Structure formats: structure tokens, C-alpha cells
Homo-oligomer: A and B are copies of this chain.
Amino acid sequence: MSDTDKTIQEAIDQLRAKHIRITPQRTLVLTYLITKRNHPTVETIYSAINHEEPSLSLATVYNTLKLFVDQGMVLELSGNDESIHYDYYGSPHYHVICTNCGKIIDVTYPDFAKDLQKIDRIAAEQTGYKITGNHVEVQGICTDCQTKLANQKN
């Protein structure tokens, strides 16, 4: 069994353990998220899957993603404008997004999980909130757009 297959299986088991029904549509969306790992939008997922397996409505993609997000399994990336991107959150990482073209890259480093815990702990102490999740996002200009923008100025 490949590494991604194992990840998919684990995610499904995790859902089943919560008595959430495993439908073909949910499996398709989950598989897409885990195998592609390309921060897709709802529309991207919908058209990609529908292209080969036309048994999926747009509303179901919305429902399914909302479910995964509620389970803390998938992250909503609101980026800048445009529509929302989704990311399977298998292990702690954060996102760097290009404010010019929207390209998103995952970043992590050895102590990142520890730093997140610190942020969560302080937030809980200061606010009394019961912390359920977090998200770090960094904005910037990707290398491609740096070149493009530099050329435009000439």
C-alpha cells in the first residue's frame, strides 16, 4: 500500500470512528485532496472529479468540504480575494501565498508544532477560549511574479 493510500485509509477510519457515513462522493473528494495536495478551490475539485466520475454535484462538494473542515481534517484558506482554497491538514504546516497570482506553498520547520502550541497556550490563557485549531498564513510575492513585476517596470 502506498503512502498516500495509507493516509487516505487513515482519514476514512477517522471519519468512520465518528460514525460519519463514507459515501463514494466523500471518498472521491478526500482522495483528491490527499493525492493532489494542490490547495484547490471548490470549482477545481468539482470539475476535476466530474471530468472522470460525473457522479458528483457542486452542492455535495460544498457539503463535503464543510464536513471535513468541521472535523478539523481540512483547512480553509481564504487567501486574498477569489474563492476559498482547501488543504488536507495531515501534519502541521503553514502557508505562503502570493498576493499577485495566488500560488500557495506549504512551509514547515522542525519546531513549528511547538511554536503553534505556544501560540495556542497563550491564547487560551489570555482569553479563556477552548482552543480547537489554528492557522498561520504568510503573504508575499512568488519568484515568478517578482520577475514579472520587475520586467513591467521597464
Contact = CB atoms under 8 A, between A and B. Distances in A.
Interface residues of A, number: 36
A132 interface: yes
A138 B123 contact: yes
A129 B143 CA distance: 6
B122 A109 contact: yes
Interface stretch (A5-13, A28-36, A92-100): A92-100
Contacts of A107: 122-123, 126-127
Given A107-B122, A107-B126, A115-B118, 20 more contacts: A78-B78, A94-B119, A96-B126, A96-B127, A96-B131, A105-B127, A115-B115, A119-B138, A123-B140, A127-B140, A127-B142, A127-B143, A129-B143, A130-B141, A130-B146, A132-B140, A133-B139, A134-B138, A135-B138, A135-B139
7 contacts: A78-B78, A94-B119, A123-B140, A127-B142, A129-B142, A130-B146, A131-B139
